[in-house]
Amino acid sequence: MRVIDLTHILEEEMPVFPGTEKPKLVTACTMEKDGFREKLLTMYSHTGTHMDAPSHMLDQGKNLDDFAVHHFVGNAIVVDCTDCIRDVSLDHLKKYDLSDVDFVLLKTGWDKKWGRKDYFNGFPALTTEAADYLASLHLKGLGVDCISVDLMDNHDFDVHKILLKEDMVMIENLTNLDRLDDVFTLHVLPLKIKQADGSPIRAIATK
Amino acid sequence: MRVIDLTHILEEEMPVFPGTEKPKLVTACTMEKDGFREKLLTMYSHTGTHMDAPSHMLDQGKNLDDFAVHHFVGNAIVVDCTDCIRDVSLDHLKKYDLSDVDFVLLKTGWDKKWGRKDYFNGFPALTTEAADYLASLHLKGLGVDCISVDLMDNHDFDVHKILLKEDMVMIENLTNLDRLDDVFTLHVLPLKIKQADGSPIRAIATK
C-alpha cells in the first residue's frame, strides 16, 4: 500500500489564519529532570492542516464528534485548479466525474507558498454556483491546499456556509495534492475533541 | 468499508496519567461575538488515546516526525488478554500467528473502566521475555486499551524501552478492541508535531 502524507508540519513558526495566534509547543518534561520527554501543546482548533465542523460557522451546525467516524474516510478526487484565476467555476468542476467520490480536493498549488506572505492571498475559490452544485452531491467533505475554501475578501464565508449546511466538513491547509492522481482513499482524522467546532488533523491518502 | 473508532473522547474531565494535568478546551470565539466558533486547546503530548515515540523514553530515540507516514498504517491483530492476571507471557503470545502483522494490540478490557479509579491499576502487561519476543518481529507498534504498556509499579518502564529501542511506537488508551476480530487495517494517525515525543491520535480500524 502506498501512503502519502497530505499534512503540513505543526511548529511554532508556522503560518496561521490572520488574527489568530501561532501554536506553542513547550518542553514540559525532560530526560534529565524526569526520565522521559513530554510537551505541553497549546493551539487553536483551526491550526495547520485542519477540519471545520458545521458548528464552526452555523448556529445549529454539527460538531465533529457528532459524526460517525466513517465520515472521515472515503474515496477522493483531485480537481486541478492551478490554472483558475480567482474563480473555480461550475463549468470547471463539470469536467470531472464526481459521481462516485466522497471528497473533492481542490489543488491550487498554494501549498508551495506555505511560510511566505503570499500564502494568504490570490488563491482561487469556488463560485457560489459551483458550491451549490457540490452541495447537491451528498459528499462527505471538500479539501483545499490553501488557507480557506472562501476568498479572503469574502467576509460572508459563502462557500463555507453553503457546504457546511449539507453536513460536509471543510479541510484546509492540505499539501502534496500534486502527488495524487486518479481516485484514491482519503483519511482525514480529527482528534476526538468534545463539541469540536474543528480540529487539527493528520490527512493521508492511500492507494 | 467498515470503520471502527478506537479512540476515547478528549474532554476536560477525562482520566490522565497520574501526576500530569487534564486538557483544557476553552471557548475562544463565539457566533455572537465573532461570527464563528473556535476553541483554544491545551494538552500534554501524551493525553488520551495517544502514541509514544522512541524519544519519549530513549536518549537518542526517534521523534514521531522522523517516521515516514506509512509507519502509522498497517495490518493489526488483537491478542485477547482478558484472562491474563498481571502478566502477558511469551507462551500466551505464541498462541497467535504474528508472522504477517505490523501492529499487535493487547485487549485487557480495561477500557471499560475509563473514568473510574480502578482504570489505573490491575491491568496485565507483557513480561520482559514476551516484550523481547515482540521486539524481534520487526513490528511497527504495540497498542493497549489501558493506560500503559508497563505495569504501574514498574518504574523502569522495561516494556516501553525494549520495544521503543526497535523503533516500535506505543499506543495507549485505546478502546473498542472487543469490536475487532481477525486481521484488520489499523490507522493510528498522530498530529504532525515538530520533534514529537508523542501525540494524541485518532485511531481507527478498517475492514
pLDDT reported for residue B182: 85
Mean pLDDT of A63-89: 98
In this model, does residue A176 exceed pLDDT 90?
Answer: yes
HSE of A174, CA atoms in CB hemisphere, 13 A: 32
In a domain, B21, yes or no: no
The confidence score (pLDDT) of residue A181 equals 85
Does B24 map to a domain?
Answer: no
Determine, yes or no, domain membership for B38. Answer: no
**Is the per-residue pLDDT at A1 higher than 90?**
no
For residue A43, the cross-strand partners are B41
Mean pLDDT in residue range B171-193: 96
Residue B7 has what pLDDT?
Answer: 98
pLDDT per residue as tens digits for the range B78-110: 999 999 999 999 999 999 999 999 999 999 999
Interface test with B, best of A6, A10, A41 (most B CBs within 10 A): A41
- Band (pLDDT 50/70/90 cuts) for residue A168 is very high
Q: Which of A191, A193, A204 is the best residue to mutate to test the B interface, defined by the most B CB atoms within 10 Å of its own CB?
A: A191
In a domain, A19, yes or no: no
- Would the CB atoms of A69 and B204 count as touching at under 8 Å? yes
Cα separation, A190 vs B114, whole angstroms: 21
Looking at residue A83, what is its pLDDT?
97
Residue of B nearest to A28 (CA): B44
* Residue A132, all three cell numbers: 451549490
Set of cell numbers at residue B189:
494517525
Residue A155's domain spans which residues?
A: 3-7+44-206
**A37–B56 C-beta distance less than 8 A:** yes
The pLDDT, as a whole number, for residue B1 is 87
Q: How many CB atoms lie within 10 A of CB B30?
A: 12
Three-class DSSP category at B42: strand
Grid cell in block for residue B149: 504498556
List the Cα angle A127/A68/A99 in 5-degree steps: 45
Task: Tell me the C-alpha distance between A75 and A186, whole Å.
Answer: 6
Number of alpha helices (DSSP H) and beta strands (DSSP E) in chain B: 4, 12
pTM of whole model > 0.95?
Answer: yes
- Banded pLDDT at B206 (limits 50, 70, 90): very high
| Mean pLDDT, residues B143-171 taken together | 97
Looking up residue A169, the CATH number of its domain turns out to be: 3.50.30.50
Q: What does the pLDDT read at residue B91?
A: 98
**Residue A156 burial (10 A CB sphere; 0-12, 13-18, 19+):** exposed
A193 — pLDDT class (breaks 50, 70, 90)? very high
Give pairs for B123-127: CB < 8 Å, separation 24+: B123/B147, B123/B151, B124/B81, B124/B84, B124/B85, B124/B86, B124/B87, B124/B88, B125/B86, B125/B87, B125/B88, B125/B149, B125/B150, B125/B151, B125/B154, B125/B159, B126/B87, B126/B88, B126/B93, B126/B159, B127/B87, B127/B88, B127/B89, B127/B90
A23-70: per-residue pLDDT in tens?
A: 999 999 999 999 999 999 999 999 999 999 999 999 999 999 999 999
Task: Categorize the per-residue pLDDT at B181 as very low, low, confident or very high, splitting at 50, 70 and 90.
Answer: confident
The alpha-carbon radius of gyration of chain B (Å, integer) is 17
How many independent structural domains does chain A possess? 1
In a domain, B156, yes or no: yes
Q: What residue of A is the nearest CA neighbor of B9?
A: A192
Interatomic CA distance for residues B120 and B114, integer angstroms:
9
B108 lies in some domain: yes
Distance CA A95, CA A99 (A): 12
CA dist B165 and B62 (Å) reads 9
Rounded Cα distance between A92 and A88, Å, is 6
Contact assessment for residue A56 and residue A67, using Cβ atoms and an 8 Å cutoff: no
pLDDT tens for each residue of B153-162: 999 999 999 9
Q: What is the pLDDT of residues A89-142, one digit of tens each?
A: 999 999 999 999 999 999 999 999 999 999 999 999 999 999 999 999 999 999
**Domain annotation covers residue B185:** yes
Answer left, alpha or beta for residue A195, where phi above 0 means left and psi between -120 and 50 means alpha. Answer: left
**Chain B residues with CB inside 8 Å of A35's CB?**
57
Q: Report in angstroms the alpha-carbon separations of A28 from A34, B10, B56.
A: 9, 20, 12
Segment A145-168 shows an average pLDDT of 97
- Confirm whether A27 is domain-assigned: no
